[in-house]
Amino acid sequence: MAQRSLMVVTGGSSGIGLALARRLRERGTDLLLVARGADRLAAAGRALACDTLVADLASAEGIAALGERLAGVERIPVLVNNAGGPFRRPLLEHDPDEAREAIELLYLAMVRVTAVAWPGLAAARGSIVNVVSVAGTVSTGSAPHYAAAKHAAIAWSRGLHVEAAAVGVHVLTANPGPVATAAFPHDRLRGHRWLRHTVIDDTRCADTILRALERRRAESYHPEWWRAATVAQAIAPGAMARLARRSRAKFG
């Protein structure tokens, strides 16, 4: 028997994904959380009384498992693409395996998840939230493979926003700045007198993403003032590079 409607959150066992899932669940909707870590995912599913699926979305097997789960779903009002990981190895170590893994999880997983969810999204004239990062537009010199994959994800998400609108599907490209989560605790930033103000928690991030979604915005920054940094990157890349070098020397 087909399931009429289901919202889907990938990377939903912790951090921004779990915070978004909590807010969506408060609306009384049926919800599916997808993540790699079975224990944390099970705990999140119990807390929210929702369905879960253990799947590595960087693998063909994980995508196939998600496709099988969604095959009987008629409508997907919201898909949140949030699966991620840190990928902190320096570029000068020339590790092609980490580069490939970052692209697979942070970019291609979004493409593949959206493809398997597309029939339900189109039927619902639903919304896609692609949780990317300001790291995709502002060069900081940290977690470089992560940043490179996020660059790709942002370009794809922006293009999808244009094409999906033709069939009534809305796409939001959400760009959080530093968000304190298990994967990215940002301890050094939070310990700095001034820079601690650049870090927000996952609940605040989720709330501002959902407000942007309700307003059907094409792109959002969290906090919003990060948009100014992306403009500065575009018009003064040399100055931003010098700032990044100084920041990296101080904070690593």
Q: Could you say which of 87, 107, 118, 146 is catalytic?
A: 146
Smallest CA-to-CA distance from 53 within 74, 76, 32 is with 32
When computed from its CA atoms, the radius of gyration of the chain, rounded to whole angstroms, is: 18
Q: Give the helix, strand, coil percentages of the chain, each rounded to 5.
A: 55, 15, 30
- CA–CA dist 112, 91 (Å, integer): 26
Is there a cis peptide before residue 223, judged by omega within 30 degrees of 0? yes
Task: Write down the residue that tokens 């320096």 correspond to.
Answer: 90
Positive or negative, the CA dihedral 108, 171, 29, 18 is: positive
Residue 221 among the catalytic residues: no
The DSSP secondary structure of 118-142, one letter per residue, reads HHHHHHHT-EEEEE--GGGTS--SS
The DSSP secondary structure of 55-78, one letter per residue, reads --TTSHHHHHHHHHHHTTEEE-SE
Q: Checking phi first, is residue 125 left (phi over 0); if not, alpha (psi -120 to 50) or beta? A: left
- Catalytic residue positions? 146
